[in-house]
Amino acid sequence: MEERPAASEIRTGTTIRPASVGSRQPRPLKEVEAADELRFHTGMDELDRVLGGGAVQGSLVLVGGAPGIGKSTLMLQICHNLCQFATVLYVSGEESERQIKLRAQRLGILGDGLYLFSETSMEEVIAAVEQHRPEILIVDSIQTIYRTASSSSPGSVAQVKECTMALMQLAKGMGVTVFVVGHINKEGSLAGPKVLEHIVDCVLHFEGDEHSSYRILRAAKNRFGATNEIGVFEMGDRGLMEVPNPSEALLSGRPKDTPGSCVTCVMEGVRPVLAEVQALVTPSAYGNSRRSSNGFDYNRAVMLAAVLEKRGGLGLSNCDFYVNVIGGLTVDEPAADLALVVALASSFRDKSVPYDLAAVGEVGLTGELRAVHALGQRLSEVQRLGFTKCLVPARGSGKLTAPDGLSLIRVTNIREAIAALC
């Protein structure tokens, strides 16, 4: 259900052309003057990377995430650096100024140029911006801010949209860089309408497993950069810490000599990241098998299990299986296929995969292994973290020389891959 105010007047028929129409003209591209967009560093390299090399002045950035993931903490922490060279206005509709102060104290944020404003009325926010002229405005969260002029309740679709539009006007009109926090609803999309994503310049998703301290910041939309970069943080007792070396962090605590686990390398933007894919295969209890997947696309996992059954000769149809990617990471790259196939086979046969082996490759429906892009970069990362063997598709890796200390096991299909391991 979407609430919409009744249109006061519906025009029909031909419209009258206002006198001003026609006064503005399209311009040829080469006559448009444009300098590079002005960027500034937020003081957190991981955030800068996701934004495409720093925040663009006058842009509107939406940071979405589940409650308690650390959105407010992230916003407050970037203030620490931002307020050293700019005036920052931090508007919170959720916490009192005292609460924010206490949190800032705990995080060690002093902030000379940081102004706190506990307010939920959009009109008041606009007035404060006009009066204090901050360079950076942070609004936590969009669902708590409302326009008194609008009759709908705070957090409703109409309100969220109107307030975002108003913030966009502040950003474009006055050159204020605006960071907006948005809540995620149960389905995992940004609460409020999808239209919100169309309005803003950047949409960042702050994700993480509730049982893990790792947080991943991912760009879902970016008008000023690529969207495939991720930033990795760890939540500790002193707030969010950047994790410049995510592979090492994600692999820490990996079990040795245990079946059902295989490491792969996925590309997150231009950065290779190692991930541990786990699978648990058990006989089904009541005839109908249960399958579930966490961090790995469910349909793809089921498809790979079917390929493994048909082309690899493993009787998985009478088995339950559960798939998990460690550390709250979501792998959505076909290059992780081989690792899942190996993990499933390893759990099914109850034989562990060598601790120093990684697997990279896409699996097709006939069980063939297909080439993946950026294989050289992935192998360097695999080698850097101390792996000595890597399963790779024979196709596409023929001319590749492996980094020192890493031996490649070239396979053409999953049957060969399983034979090489278990």
Q: Which of 39, 49, 71, 147 binds ligand TYD (CB under 6 A)?
A: 71
Residue 182 interacts with ligand TYD (CB under 6 A): yes or no? no
The listed partner (ligand TYD, Mg ion, none) that binds 354, CB under 5 to 8 Å by sort, is none
CA distance readout (Å), 67 to 104, 208, 234, 309, 384: 19, 11, 16, 40, 36
d(CA 365, CA 166): 50
For residue 257, state whether it binds ligand TYD (rule: CB under 6 A).
no
C-alpha distances in angstroms, 71 versus 62, 182, 384? 11, 9, 32
Nearest CA to 142 out of 186, 105, 197 is that of 197
At its nearest, how many Å lie between ligand TYD and the CB of residue 109?
10
255 contact choice in ligand TYD, Mg ion, none (CB below 5 to 8 Å, kind-dependent): none
List the Cα angle 404/406/410 in 5-degree steps.
130
Q: Which is nearer to Mg ion, 95 or 268 (CB)?
A: 95
CA distance 330 to 326: 9
Asked if 72 touches ligand TYD (CB under 6 A), the answer is yes
Q: Which does 413 bind (CB under 5 to 8 A by kind): Mg ion, ligand TYD, none?
A: none
Which segment (7-15, 21-29, 69-77, 374-382) binds ligand TYD by CB under 6 A?
Answer: 69-77
| Closest CB to Mg ion among residues 92, 397 | 92
Q: Is 200 among the residues that bind ligand TYD (CB under 6 A)?
A: no
Q: Which does 231 bind (CB under 5 to 8 A by kind): Mg ion, ligand TYD, none?
A: none
> Does 103 participate in binding ligand TYD (rule CB under 6 A)?
yes
Beta-bridge partners for 178: 60, 137
Q: Which stretch binds ligand TYD (CB under 6 A): 12-20, 71-79, 314-322, 380-388?
A: 71-79
Nearest CA to 197 among 55, 57, 60?
Answer: 60
| Other beta carbons within 10 Å of 105 | 10
Eight-state DSSP code of residue 17: P
Query: Which residue, 28 or 236, is less far from ligand TYD as judged by CB?
Result: 236
3-state secondary structure of 306: helix
Q: Which of Mg ion, ligand TYD, none lies near 246, with the C-beta cut-off 5 to 8 A by kind?
A: none
User: Binding of ligand TYD at residue 251 (CB under 6 A)?
Assistant: no
Which among 19-27, 70-78, 115-123, 130-138 is the span making contact with Mg ion, rule CB under 5 A?
70-78
Nearer to ligand TYD, 92 or 278 (CB): 92
Based on CB atoms, which residue is closest to ligand TYD, 154 or 367? 154
Contact residues for 275 (Cβ-Cβ < 8 A; gap 6+): 250, 263, 264, 265, 266, 325, 326, 327, 329, 331, 336, 339
Binding mask 230-249 vs ligand TYD (x if CB under 6 A, - otherwise)? -----x-xxx----------
Among 68, 108, 244, 255, binds ligand TYD (CB under 6 A): 68
Burial (CB < 10 A; 0-12, 13-18, 19+), residue 30, is exposed
Contacted by 33, from ligand TYD, Mg ion, none: CB < 5 to 8 Å by type: none
Q: Phi and psi of 286, rounded to 5°?
A: -115, 30
Smaller CB distance to Mg ion: residue 60 or 184?
184
70 binds ligand TYD (CB under 6 A): yes
Q: Which residues lie across from 206 on neighbouring strands?
A: 65, 217
Interface residue with Mg ion, options 56, 59, 65, 72 (CB under 5 A): 72
Restricted to residues 90-119, the positions that interact with Mg ion (CB under 5 A) are none
User: CA Rg, the chain, in Å?
Assistant: 26
Candidate ranges 65-73, 149-157, 304-312, 402-410; the one touching Mg ion (CB under 5 A): 65-73
Q: Given the complex with Mg ion, which of 117 and 348 has the nearer CB atom? A: 117
SS3 99: helix
Phi–psi pair at 254, nearest 5 degrees: -70, 135
The span from the first CA to the last CA of the chain, in angstroms, equals 54
> In the numeric block, which tokens belong to residue 401?
């020389």
Identify whether the C-beta of residue 125 lies closer than 8 Å to the C-beta of residue 91: yes
Q: Does 69 bind ligand TYD (CB under 6 A)?
A: yes
Q: Which two tokens stand for residue 224?
A: 């000023």
Residue 415 interacting entry, from ligand TYD, Mg ion, none, C-beta within 5 to 8 Å by type = none
Per CB under 6 A, residues contacting ligand TYD are: 65, 67-73, 103, 235, 237-239
